[in-house]
């Protein structure tokens, strides 16, 4: 029997969604303080999630050097304290300290195709090989786009009481009240056609384009891609108890009145 046809296992190409923990400072105390502050409102939310430690922001983008260093062993312990599980390291080739640590710790070096994380290339690095670029452009032009199906939206047509939680793989549409202590979570957008008084977390696997739409904003917590705001920071009068849309601008939550007429 061919090894490719064995009934016991398969080796296949594929991709797995993993959160990137993008390190912007080598100051472990500052990281610990911010990580605690960020997740104290939802201590179980990322429990058990796997993350890749991304240290590319620490590189010296001007010279392409190694840049600042951080103790990845301590960082691994820090993530473990909030029950995140590091599964690899994302680093630039010049960051040999990170590559060596990953090898010694048994973690693979991963390649991340994301919109954020890596320093912008220098002018010389950004210049394309004209001939190669032409070949790639021609190949892309001749390749038909892949067939994709949108994720199906989840619709909840009842009020959610305190302690109830709803999770949606795609968009989430809620037609009833989200009470204090209730939680709605979606990998895509969240639409709430009723008062939001509990928690709403959109884009939970890093979807920076996710939005929250609500007809009456009175939340305990709102979050998009891990960037959150709680009632400790009072909402302006022009959005409190009003129809709004919420989105991310860089790493800042933007809340805007929703014009319904």
Name the domain boundary from 119, 145, 169: 119
- pLDDT tens, 140-176? 444 444 444 556 899 999 999 988 889 998 999 999 9
Residue 81 structure tokens: 């304290």
- Residues 40, 114, single domain; the answer is yes
- Residues 167, 73, single domain; the answer is no
Question: Is residue 2 included in any domain, yes or no?
Answer: no
Question: Is residue 3 included in any domain, yes or no?
Answer: no
- pLDDT tens, 73-91? 888 888 888 888 888 898 8
Name the domain boundary from 119, 139, 163: 119
pTM exceeding 0.75: no
Q: Which domain holds residue 241?
A: 154-257
- 246, 222 Cβ separation under 8 angstroms: yes
- pLDDT tens, 121-131? 333 333 444 44
- Alpha helices by DSSP H, listed for the chain, are 28-39, 72-81, 96-105, 123-126, 130-142
Question: Is residue 49 included in any domain, yes or no?
Answer: yes
- Residues 100, 168, single domain; the answer is no
Q: Cβ–Cβ contacts within 10 Å for residue 75, how many?
A: 21
Name the domain boundary from 98, 119, 140: 119
Rounded to an integer, the average pLDDT of 132-141 is 43
- Residues 41, 113, single domain; the answer is yes
More confident residue, 199 or 145: 199
- 198, 12 Cβ separation under 8 angstroms: no
- Residues 24, 69, single domain; the answer is yes
- Residues 103, 168, single domain; the answer is no
Tokens 């008084």, located at residue: 197
Which CATH number belongs to the domain containing residue 237 in this structure?
2.160.20.70
Q: With pLDDT > 90 as the criterion, what percentage of the chain qualifies?
A: 30
Tokens 């260093």, located at residue: 69
- pLDDT tens, 101-118? 888 888 888 876 654 444
Which CATH number belongs to the domain containing residue 87 in this structure?
3.30.70.260
């Amino acid at each position: 029997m061919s090894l490719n046809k064995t009934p016991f296992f398969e080796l296949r190409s594929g991709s797995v969604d993993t959160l990137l923990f993008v390190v912007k400072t080598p100051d472990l105390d500052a990281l610990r303080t911010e990580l605690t502050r960020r997740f104290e409102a939802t201590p179980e939310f990322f429990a058990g999630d796997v993350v890749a430690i991304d240290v590319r922001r620490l590189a010296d983008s001007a010279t392409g050097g190694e840049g600042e260093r951080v103790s990845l062993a301590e960082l691994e312990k820090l993530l473990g304290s909030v029950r995140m599980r590091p599964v690899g390291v994302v680093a630039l080739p010049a960051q040999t300290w990170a590559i060596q640590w990953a090898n010694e710790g048994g973690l693979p070096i991963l390649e991340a195709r994301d919109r954020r994380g890596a320093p912008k290339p220098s002018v010389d690095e950004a210049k394309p090989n004209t001939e190669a670029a032409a070949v790639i452009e021609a190949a892309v032009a001749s390749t038909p786009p892949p067939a994709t199906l949108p994720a199906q939206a989840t619709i909840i047509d009842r009020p959610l009481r305190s302690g109830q939680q709803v999770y949606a793989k795609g968009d989430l549409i809620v037609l009833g009240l989200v009470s204090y202590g209730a939680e709605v979570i979606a990998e895509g957008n969240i639409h709430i056609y009723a008062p939001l008084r509990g928690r709403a977390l959109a884009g939970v696997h890093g979807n920076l384009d996710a939005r929250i739409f609500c007809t009456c904003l009175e939340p305990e917590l709102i979050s998009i891609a891990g960037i959150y705001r709680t009632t400790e920071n009072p909402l302006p009068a022009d959005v409190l108890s009003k129809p709004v849309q919420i989105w991310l601008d860089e790493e800042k939550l933007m809340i805007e009145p929703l014009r319904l007429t």
